Amino acid sequence: MSLRALTLGLAVASGCAPAMTGYVPQHVAQAELTLHYDGRMRIDSGGQPLAWGPRYDGLAEHVACVPRAHEHARKAQRMGRWRRGLAWTGGALGVASLGGLSGFAFIGSDPTTAFTLLGSGLGAAALGIIMAGSSRAAGNRAHGNAIDAMNFYNDAVGSVGGRCGARPPIAAPSLVEGPLVEGPLVEGPSPPPRAVMIGPTRGSL
């Protein structure tokens, strides 16, 4: 059971569960990304769950044809990994710091050892706080980058009915300012050979 699941379970049991999104978007383009929250940030593609925060696995591949979106999605994944690692380490240090209380066993016989243990506990707890706080910052960056990736992708491709192809075009030109490509629109399950079907000329849908 993950730390998040445990926390969520405790929150539900105590009646403090986080609010979740209840509205399901009705009119979404076939590969358009939408944001949801079900105790975790969730990004859907065309109404189907695509990636969950803070790791957002799968998001970078989905938006690979829009360079800025791809860049943000990769940052989101990287920050998500940091979030998880730092949170686990910080939490573990917080728990381990309680071991410092064993110093009480020596308070009468060996005060030096007693205070050394208590001090170690305090140090571990302080380090745990720093790491846990850093994990929150990493989590915020993961969410922020993922939502930015979603917005850049939707502006260029997603909200106008397009989608990225199967192969990520590394050298694809920026679509944001490009001319409108009157190419075949992707319909159905078969993606076209090129990554991008369509890009808006101005404004955005």
Residue of 83, 165, 195, 196 that binds other proteins (CB under 8 A): 83
Question: Which tokens go with 50?
Answer: 């695509």
Q: In the beta sheet, which residues pair with residue 33?
A: 45
CB of 161: closest distance to other proteins in angstroms? 5
CB of 166: closest distance to other proteins in angstroms? 21
Residue of 136, 166, 167, 170 that binds other proteins (CB under 8 A): 136
**How far is it, in rounded angstroms, from Cα 64 to Cα 60?**
6
Binding segment toward other proteins, per CB under 8 A, in 56-64, 141-149, 167-175, 188-196: 141-149
According to the binding rule CB under 8 A, does residue 45 interact with other proteins?
no
Whether the Cβ atoms of residue 64 and residue 164 lie closer than 8 Å to each other: yes
According to the binding rule CB under 8 A, does residue 34 interact with other proteins?
yes
DSSP 122-148: HHHHHHHHHHHHHHHHHHHHHHHHHHH
Residue of 12, 105, 107, 170 that binds other proteins (CB under 8 A): 107
- Using DSSP's 3-state secondary structure scheme, residue 34 falls into strand
- Using DSSP's 3-state secondary structure scheme, residue 45 falls into strand
Residue of 55, 62, 70, 141 that binds other proteins (CB under 8 A): 141
Residue of 121, 165, 172, 175 that binds other proteins (CB under 8 A): 121
According to the binding rule CB under 8 A, does residue 22 interact with other proteins?
yes
The smaller minimum CB distance to other proteins, of residues 77 and 145, is found at 145
Whether the Cβ atoms of residue 169 and residue 69 lie closer than 8 Å to each other: no
Whether the Cβ atoms of residue 31 and residue 153 lie closer than 8 Å to each other: no
According to the binding rule CB under 8 A, does residue 80 interact with other proteins?
no
* Residue whose entry in the numeric block shows the structure tokens 């590969």: 31
According to the binding rule CB under 8 A, does residue 157 interact with other proteins?
no
The residue type at 130: I
Ranges within 87-106 binding other proteins (CB under 8 A) = 87-88, 90-91, 93-95, 97-98, 100-101, 103-104
